Amino acid sequence: MPAALAQAQSGGRSIPRTVDVVVVGAGLSGLYMLHKLRAQGLSTVVLEANSDVGGTWYANRYPGARVDVESFGYSYSFDPDLEQEFEWSERFATQPELLRYFQHVAERFDLRKDIAFDTSVTSAQYDESGRRWQVRTERGDTVTTRFLVMATGSLSAAKMPEIPGLESFRGVSYHTAQWPVEEVDFTGQRVGVIGTGSSGVQVIPLIAEQAAELTVFQRTPAYALPAHNRPLRPGEGTSAKSDYPAYRKAARESGFGVPMEPPTKSALEASAEEREQAFEEAWQAGGLTALVGTFTDIQTDLDANALAMEFLHRKIAEAATDLQTAADLTPQYPFWSKRPCLNTGYYDAFNRPNVRLVNLQREPLTEVTGAGIRTSAREYELDAIVYATGFDAMTGSFTRVDVRGRGGVSLQEAWAAGPRTYLGLGTVGFPNLFMIAGPGSPSVLSNMVVSIEQHVDWVSDAIAYMERRGLATIEATPTAQDEWVDHVNVLASYTLFPGTDSWFLGANVPGKARVFMPYAGGVGAYRQKCDEVAASGYAGFQFSS
Ligand code: N01
């Protein structure tokens, strides 16, 4: 396919007016998608709102940000040389190291030349007669494309809370997912953090070390599992890298996208000693999935789950020295019914004299004032507020762009009652639009890199299939989509997820339909289904020629 294209000048940078594929986002998904499409000879441009590559790892540069999948597993597998050459320094890589990795990938494969940075996509409209997408940017560019790949991330649409008075605060406000590129120094300041999900749990220990006073406003406590992060030992990298073929295969066939022996026994059938030993070993191993993987029914049976909860409650009581603080930090909802967090110094932070915990269940937050934060009990005076309040997850990054498919129907309208997709890859009414790690796929319930690589490979194979046969459009069929949505819901109903409010259900966004969005059947089963669909000539998708 010829790549010689008419160029539109915009902001000093050339953006082609017509391409085969527009990819939105230069994070993990967009970088690999560009690399693949280019190798297939397709003219491609990536439009990226940030000033450089990295996506979520570009934006979430708050102190303490680090990955919660082991570094060796949270990396691309598509190029054996790339796998071997990058040196990870810690068990769980920090955000700056991850960003260095993505910058290295961009340089190694010369990706930046086809990425327009500081280019926010505002709309994408499908032109039915021309069977093309018209993609518009904030800067006024219009790009016409056959295929549109939304590589916009599952957790990238930052969410501010609905609290009165946000604008009135006279100090400085930050959101963890929109952290400034310049270093932020909290030395000597009175800082408030709202939110104790993964971002809060990571940022709190670091701010605690710097600030004069840190006040943590907690609405729902987190299960913060030990990371046991550490520098990698000499030789550890070489040995892990020599195991890559087997490691990657096991990751792809697993549940969460990390190699793991599946449990065989119910927690309810195990003796108390067996359970304690299994839980303790998982605790000592650290990581997000060890404990939930001890027994078959931790995530599916409330009684089995209560046994894990009891173990975790004891660990929290041991970690926080003040009794009331320990009680306030103890979650009462089932373990893994919302996403747990990885802990590096979180509970210890509350043992410091300059840190206090405000339990918003006892004294609800009423407003942000000019001077700080007011609860029903009092006002807390602050110099800075950090909103660790999360994301409009899984759908926000798609629906914040005005995407309109056949008949001018917007994605927002099509998904008003919850996202509807076939395989989390495509959606009815939006021909030639692909989503990477979209709702209805394992995405956030997995090691994202494993899921992203699988989607990118699948999408580039589907486009290659169309090119070989001269097919113009691909679109999910209503029947396949309905059946897939039902299947995703049935799988969720076997778990404890639907019973606890979380961003998995859209519960953190007022007015958002309460639907469990990710596919809970595991990455192995999901990959198998996607492979079968491709092998059968893309059953469940219809083509036009
Ligand atoms: O966001 P969250 P996050 N008043 O939605 C609270 C991934 N991630 O950015 O639970 C008071 O989990 C809210 O309280 P509640 C990971 O998948 C990964 O922390 O709604 N509080 C909650 O405590 C993660 O799950 C890493 O009651 C309010 C917090 O804000 C996902 O991103 C690091 C409030 C939001 O927690 C999201 O994590 C970071 C209000 N009005 C993130 N509104 C890694 O480790 C919200 N809250 C790789």
Q: Which of 275, 283, 339 is nearest to 306 (CA)?
A: 275
Establish how many alpha carbons lie within 13 A of residue 97's alpha carbon, considering only the half-sphere containing its beta carbon: 19
If one looks up domain 7-158+406-471 in CATH, what number appears? Answer: 3.50.50.60
Q: Whose CA is nearest to atom 36 of ligand 1?
A: 197
pLDDT computed for residue 6 by the predictor? 34
Ligand 1: residue of 95, 193, 508, 512 to mutate (most ligand atoms within 8 A of CB) is 508
pLDDT computed for residue 496 by the predictor? 98
Cβ pair 151, 121 in contact under 8 A: no
Per-residue pLDDT of 138-166, as tens digits, reads: 999 999 999 999 999 999 999 999 999 99
Per-residue pLDDT of 425-448, as tens digits, reads: 999 999 999 999 999 999 999 999
pLDDT computed for residue 402 by the predictor? 98
Ligand 1: residue of 28, 56, 178, 198 to mutate (most ligand atoms within 8 A of CB) is 198
- The DSSP string of 500-545 is S--GGGTTTSTT------S--S-HHHHHHHHHHHHHTTSTTEEEE-
Q: Determine the Cα–Cα distance for residues 78 and 32; give it in Å rounded to an integer.
A: 9
pLDDT computed for residue 2 by the predictor? 31
Per-residue pLDDT of 446-465, as tens digits, reads: 999 999 999 999 999 999 99
Per-residue pLDDT of 218-265, as tens digits, reads: 999 999 999 999 999 988 888 889 999 999 999 999 999 999 999 999
**Neighbour order of strands in the sheet with 379-381:** 365-368, 372-375, 379-381
Residue 13: pLDDT band by 50, 70, 90 thresholds?
A: low
Does the C-beta of 359 come closer than 6 Å to ligand 1?
no
User: DSSP alpha helices (H): ranges in 40-79?
Assistant: 56-59
12 pLDDT exceeds 50?
A: no
CA distance to 183, 298, 325, per residue, from 511 (Å): 36, 31, 33
Residue-averaged pLDDT of the chain: 96
Does the C-beta of 224 come closer than 6 Å to ligand 1?
no
Residue 65 CA: which ligand 1 atom is closest?
33
Q: Determine the Cα–Cα distance for residues 539 and 102; give it in Å rounded to an integer.
A: 35
| Beta bridge mates, 140 | none
Say if strands 372-375 and 379-381 run parallel, antiparallel, or are unpaired. antiparallel
| Beta bridge mates, 434 | 149
Does the C-beta of 339 come closer than 6 Å to ligand 1?
yes
Q: Which of 80, 87, 4, 78 is nearest to 35 (CA)?
A: 78
Higher pLDDT among residues 203 and 2, named by residue: 203
Ligand 1: residue of 155, 176, 194, 199 to mutate (most ligand atoms within 8 A of CB) is 199
pLDDT computed for residue 18 by the predictor? 98
Q: Whose CA is nearest to atom 16 of ligand 1?
A: 198
Q: Hey, what are 31's tokens?
A: 């970088």
Q: Determine the Cα–Cα distance for residues 371 and 356; give it in Å rounded to an integer.
A: 18
- The DSSP string of 230-255 is -BPPTTHHHHHHHTHHHHHHHHHTSS
What single-letter amino acid sits at 370?
Answer: G
Q: Determine the Cα–Cα distance for residues 163 and 52; give it in Å rounded to an integer.
A: 32
523 pLDDT exceeds 50?
A: yes
10 pLDDT exceeds 50?
A: no
Quick one: DSSP state of residue 377? S
Say if strands 541-544 and 473-476 run parallel, antiparallel, or are unpaired. antiparallel
Q: What percent of the chain has pLDDT over 70?
A: 98
pLDDT computed for residue 3 by the predictor? 33
4 pLDDT exceeds 60?
A: no
Does the C-beta of 95 come closer than 6 Å to ligand 1?
no
Cβ pair 91, 227 in contact under 8 A: yes
Q: What percent of the chain has pLDDT over 90?
A: 95
Average pLDDT of 108-126?
98
Q: Whose CA is nearest to atom 29 of ligand 1?
A: 195
pLDDT computed for residue 240 by the predictor? 87
272 pLDDT exceeds 70?
A: yes
List the single range of 98-102, 165-169, 320-324, 325-329 with lowest mean pLDDT. Answer: 320-324
Ligand 1: residue of 95, 219, 333, 514 to mutate (most ligand atoms within 8 A of CB) is 219
pLDDT computed for residue 239 by the predictor? 86
pLDDT computed for residue 7 by the predictor? 41
Ligand 1 centroid – CA 387 distance (Å): 9
